[in-house]
Amino acid sequence: MNPNHTFYIDRHPGSISLDGEWRFCWNDAATDAPEALGFDYTSNLPASGYRCLEQAGILPDPYFGTNSRLYNWPDKKIWYFRRSFTLPDIAGRDVYLCFEGICYTCRVWLNGEEIVSHEGMFGGPITEISAWAKPGENELVVEVTPPAPDAALSREHDARAHAEIVPWNIRRDASTSNGDFIVFGIWRTVRIEILPKYHLSRPHLYTVSLDGNTAQLHLEAEIADPQVKELDVVSGDAGSWSSYSFAYSDNADIRPTGKKLDVAVTLTEKSTGDLAYASRETVDIQDKFYVVRNEKYRECQFFEKELVIENPRLWWPNGLGAAHLYTVTLELFDEDGTTLDVLSFDTGIRTLTYERSAGPRLRQRWDNWQYVINGRKFFVRGMNWMPIDFLFDCRPEDYRWTLELAKNMGIQLIRVWSGGGMPEDDLFYSLCDEYGMLVMQDSFIANCLSDKWNREVLQAQVCRNLYRIRNHPSLASHTGGNEINPYAQGNDAAMWVIAREIEDLDPSRKFYNTSPDKGSAHIYRDMEPVWYRKNYGALPFIGESGIHSFPNAKSLRQLMSPEEYNRRLSDIYTEAFKTENPELCNHFTEFIPARIPRMMSRASIINNTRGIDLSDLCEATQMASHEFYQIMANALQENYPASTGLLPWVFKRPWTTVAVQMVDGMGDPIAPYYALKNAYAPLVAEVALRELCFAPGETFTPDLRLLVGDVTAHTGLTVTLELYDPELKLVRTECFTCDVTAGETSLRFDCQPFTIPAEWAENFFFLRASVKNAAGILLQQSFYHPKVLSRFADEASREEFRAKPQNNIDFVEGPWLKPQIAAHRGAMTLTLLEKSVRTDGAERRLHMKAEIANAGDVPLFPVKLDALEDRTLTMASDNYFVLAPGTSRVIETEIRLCAGAADTVTLALTAWNADECRVAVTM
């Protein structure tokens, strides 16, 4: 059997999990006699090598302080894992040992015999083991050789690095990270499938078309039988010869063996259990000798069927409708009616096509970026995705929490990034199915050339993951990888392997060569966010863009020593910052000259960043990013349908670090999360500012708009613009009533010009746009804080600054937003209305509703609800918002109480210009 075969064995009823306790050890060199090793330590697998060391008490938590530096040796060892398992009688059956992920190369022994070796971390080995397995107790030993550190980005050099298919960010990346992390080990689940000789494999179902109240689906599956060893099937010849292509030169005939099997197909609505489709038909098993004479090229028999579903309940993306799911069940029956095999999976009925955007074509290589779901065009509100844990140790509770955050943010499409990412876990895709979030799946090439890669290994990795994930309705498209030249000589062979396998195994989905390419862009410029409005009007799609910020101070507090966390920060622009803040610097992504000034200059809008403490710096960078993401997202949506989608960088960091992020490594949302949540609302009232810095005495006309992201008609809406002076006193109000017809995407309102008083110089003033329904209930609001700068009084200087994107101004002497707002005090109250507690796996969730009231006469900003205790994470219906005087809002919060959390939660309500309110909540 070729260990790099391309096939995947699905999970069947009765699957035997080998997850759980394993014994492990390491050695300086590989050995052919692993039975002589000590296996002195235990760990629960799947888990990366680092987690194994932590679980065994050998090394401390790699995420705390500078502990990661202690892990400078594990990838230089050879690792061995051992466990026993019990099998029933397996006579006459196929037995498959299935590893879903080992990094990087491995050898496997079963009952003392070496049975397979394998290369590749994203699936495999998958091996038929009936020749070595036995009823009763069996012993399994796995040798793992870690990957080499990245050749370009690590501090070390290893010639293997150029040939291994491992993301650069997880192999001691010292360019953008601290260089301490490398993923290796048995990091994904292990299982055994015991199947009859006649069984079902690799089913695939997708929607071909929708026509009125009818959906046409295509179903295919493979039927394995004793004539073919399915893992020995070849899908192409290694080397240059073409016998695979000539396989049918001698014959290609269909003659039955006389064996007949029945295949039954059912579709049931997942939410109701109602039967939507059922069929059963007899299949004649073909004699493979007559299909193809050369035994090497015989394959399993294909079962194909067109399904017609009447009145289907369609799968829609988040915000456009319900994500209806169906459970598909395939059953294989013997001639006497005995059930031989059953496969079941969930699917959704939907079509997804792509059209050109309404903007101009700018180059020869240009692609279709207008998403059309079930015949309906829409602007894609998306996000980039990194693994939720740097070491790929992702628990179900983590997936549910993180993807709930994404759903509640309004995300419709997630791009799974390949630079440090992976073809995600099955649970990830299942939750995306459930939550209505489309997935753009990167393949393996990332920021590199792939000319040294083993094409057989690449093909096997690509195919196994396509088989595994292709039935998920959330899966929208594939890319060849991240930030590569797909046309370079060093990538053309790997690109061909990826593209051809997607075309053959997943033909209903679109393939993009890479991101960015053909009309998409990755934008990381030091500029004010209004330039997305002024500079990118002809761009169809933004595949990445964003700005750095610190994680929540509470998260850093849990991963740093009290001594360093509580002391004053050194000057971040000097080398002393690295030596005097070692733990913080260890939690820094891209601590490089090009990134620091960009983040800090924007933070200087919020507060004085010289001599600032860590907690205030976390807040300042986040609030600066809040403004940036809000304006960027609004600008792109205004430009629809010329601009058709936005995927900001990045949703969650895999560990707690200073970086571009919406959710920090602990899983706690930070300020920009709520900016994008607000900008991705179904209705968005916004001011399309073309400048954020004004001159005293300058006149501008607020460009008030209503962006419509849903498909619902709305009547009796009121869109309001309020303008506040530097002391938060209301200066002007303009109100507009309107209706929105179904399919309308934006409305624009004529506001009156406004001349900025000269005495507002060196201050912020404030704009609030809001939309209410016919009942007067607030649906959404946007808050802006443009600056009035004396330096802009000179018209020539002002126009020079505005003529092209400029680096963000570093406000060394101010004005600063936080102290200006804090000087104008208001008052607020917090009233807990209701609470409930539920469990999620081994954790608890506390759900609360609280009323927040502004009891003063000035707006409060930024209003935030949060749980104060360690080991708690907060998801709110809104946060970091403005609360107008005399108004109240009911905010819902979901508090995740991680393992070790206290039984009492302190809910804190804060704003810069009001005293804090607290409520203690006991479970």
Identify whether the C-beta of residue 61 lies closer than 8 Å to the C-beta of residue 67: yes
- Rounded distance between C-alpha atoms, residue 700 and residue 703, angstroms: 9
- pLDDT(580) > 90: yes
- pLDDT(806) > 80: yes
CB atoms inside a 10 Å sphere around CB 514:
24
**pLDDT band with cut points at 50, 70 and 90 for residue 176:** confident
**pLDDT band with cut points at 50, 70 and 90 for residue 595:** confident
Give mean pLDDT, residues 772-788.
99
Q: In the numeric block, which tokens belong to residue 162?
A: 């150029």
Residue 152 is predicted with a pLDDT of 78
**pLDDT band with cut points at 50, 70 and 90 for residue 238:** low
Nearest to 259 by CA among 185, 333, 192, 325: 333
Phi, psi angle pair for 612, to nearest 5°: -80, 155
- pLDDT(764) > 90: yes
Give mean pLDDT, residues 876-895.
99
Residue 15 is predicted with a pLDDT of 98
Residue 239 is predicted with a pLDDT of 66
Single-letter amino acid code for the residue at 299: E
Least confident range from 145-154, 325-334, 767-776, 885-894: namely 145-154
Residue 420 is predicted with a pLDDT of 84
Single-letter amino acid code for the residue at 68: S
Residue length, the chain?
Answer: 923
94-106 per-residue burial string, b: 16 or more CB within 10 A, e: under 16: bbbbbbbbbbbbb
Output the average pLDDT for the chain: 97
Residue 350 is predicted with a pLDDT of 99
CB atoms inside a 10 Å sphere around CB 629:
28
Q: Helix, strand or coil for residue 320? A: coil
End-to-end Cα, the chain, rounded Å:
56
CA distances from 9 to 99, 192, 200, 465 (A): 10, 10, 9, 11
Taking the CA atoms of residue 439, residue 444, residue 445 and residue 451 in that order, the dihedral angle to the nearest 10 degrees is -150
CB atoms inside a 10 Å sphere around CB 655:
25
Domains, the chain, ordered by start = 16-147+183-195 (2.60.120.260), 197-347 (2.60.40.10), 359-543 (3.20.20.80), 549-625+650-822 (2.60.40.10), 828-922 (2.60.40.10)
Nearest to 366 by CA among 478, 487, 517, 483: 517
**Can you list the pairs that 201-205 forms with residues at least 24 positions away whose Cβ atoms lie under 8 Å?**
201/7, 201/9, 201/10, 201/230, 201/300, 202/7, 202/8, 202/10, 202/467, 203/10, 203/328, 203/330, 203/343, 203/345, 203/471, 204/470, 204/471, 204/505, 204/506, 205/307, 205/328, 205/347, 205/471
**pLDDT band with cut points at 50, 70 and 90 for residue 267:** very high
Q: In the numeric block, which tokens belong to residue 457?
A: 């290994």
Residue 182 is predicted with a pLDDT of 97
Q: Helix, strand or coil for residue 383? A: strand
Give mean pLDDT, residues 722-746.
97
Q: Helix, strand or coil for residue 760? A: helix
How many percent of the chain have pLDDT more than 90? Answer: 93
Helix, strand, coil percentages (3-state) for the chain, rounded to 5, are: 20, 35, 45
Q: Helix, strand or coil for residue 502? A: helix
Least confident range from 42-56, 294-308, 591-605, 686-700: namely 591-605
Least confident range from 152-156, 455-459, 871-875: namely 152-156
Identify whether the C-beta of residue 43 lies closer than 8 Å to the C-beta of residue 79: no
Residue 491 is predicted with a pLDDT of 96
Residue 4 is predicted with a pLDDT of 85
Least confident range from 221-235, 311-325, 668-682: namely 221-235
Identify whether the C-beta of residue 43 lies closer than 8 Å to the C-beta of residue 56: yes
Residue 235 is predicted with a pLDDT of 81
How many percent of the chain have pLDDT more than 70? Answer: 99
- pLDDT(688) > 70: yes
Identify whether the C-beta of residue 658 lies closer than 8 Å to the C-beta of residue 668: no
- pLDDT(285) > 80: yes
Number of H helices, E strands in the chain: 16, 52
Burial of 592 (0-12, 13-18, 19+ CB in 10 A): exposed
Residue 11 is predicted with a pLDDT of 98
Give mean pLDDT, residues 850-873.
98
- Rounded distance between C-alpha atoms, residue 913 and residue 811, angstroms: 22
- pLDDT(796) > 70: yes
pLDDT tens-place string over residues 92-108: 999 999 999 999 999 99
User: In 100-148, where do the E strands start and end?
Assistant: 102-103, 105-110, 113-119, 126-128, 136-145
- Rounded distance between C-alpha atoms, residue 137 and residue 469, angstroms: 33
Please calculate the CA angle 491-495-499 and round it to the nearest 5 degrees: 175
Q: Helix, strand or coil for residue 405? A: helix
Residue 80 is predicted with a pLDDT of 99
Nearest to 439 by CA among 464, 463, 465: 465
Residue 105 is predicted with a pLDDT of 98
Q: Helix, strand or coil for residue 53? A: helix
Residue 241 is predicted with a pLDDT of 72
